[in-house]
Amino acid sequence: MKLNKKEVAQNLRLFGYKRYGTMKKFAEALDMNPSTLYSGYLNGRSLPGPVLLVKLIDLGCNINWLLTSRETPFTNERQASAHIVSEDVQPHRTIALHTPPAPPAFGNTKTHNVRFADGRR
């Protein structure tokens, strides 16, 4: 599938306006100079690279939508209802913690000869 740079630029602009209200605030949220945002990405000259895509994900942008115009602009419904973020609110990344499964139950531990590396039972 070939990406359409103009369509990606249009989606990027739409996401920025919906989420931040102005392109200047959007550029600030991306830690980018507004002129770089305009000249490189919003005019359709360049596609966002991996670093910019990760920043957009952190801001709540649905990358599938950004690149293909499928699905919705936001990664969840809560973000879709909050159109403009206050200037003092910083987006954050949610980290999913993995909890390993519990070891299988062996029944009576005295019947098993279990020793730790330091020699304890």
Delimit the domains of the chain by residue range: 1-121
Judged against a pLDDT cut of 90, whether residue 28 lies above it is answered with yes
**CA–CA distance, 57 with 114 (Å, rounded to integer):** 46
Residue 46 predicted with pLDDT over 60: yes
At residue 71 the predicted structure's pLDDT band, cuts being 50, 70 and 90, is confident
Measured distance CA(101)–CA(1) in Å, rounded = 39
pTM of the entire predicted model:
0.60
Q: CA 59, 63, 65, 69: dihedral to nearest 10 degrees? A: 120
Instruction: Return the CATH architecture of domain 1-121.
Output: Orthogonal Bundle (1.10)
List pLDDT tens digits, range 89-99: 444 444 444 55
